[in-house]
Amino acid sequence: MTDSGFPRRIQKLRERRRMNRKALSECCGLSKGMIAAYERGEREPSLGTLVELADFFEVPVDYLLGRQNFL
């Protein structure tokens, strides 16, 4: 897992908001297990989920994908 990839970035954003996986899952309508799988790099979000996460964290999708620095 690299600092610039989706798994690390989603985890860093969640931790910056002092949220646990359950809280994020409830806000985004995902399971806690799915958030964990994203953070471990085991699963990739659908385009719709990616957009929803970007909107929730108020970051560009390109930031989540590691294509742009934002924070």
pLDDT digits (tens, 9 = 90+) for 21-33: 999 999 999 999 9
- Residues 34-71 have pLDDT tens digits of 999 999 999 999 999 999 999 999 999 999 998 877 65
- Rounded to whole angstroms, the Cα distance separating 52 from 55 reads 5
Q: Which residue has the tokens 């809280």?
A: 23
pTM over 0.95: no
Structure confidence at residue 68 (pLDDT): 73
Q: Does residue 5 contact residue 39 with C-beta atoms inside 8 Å?
A: no
Structure confidence at residue 14 (pLDDT): 97
C-alpha 31: how far from chain center: 13
- pLDDT classification of 4: cutoffs 50, 70, 90: low
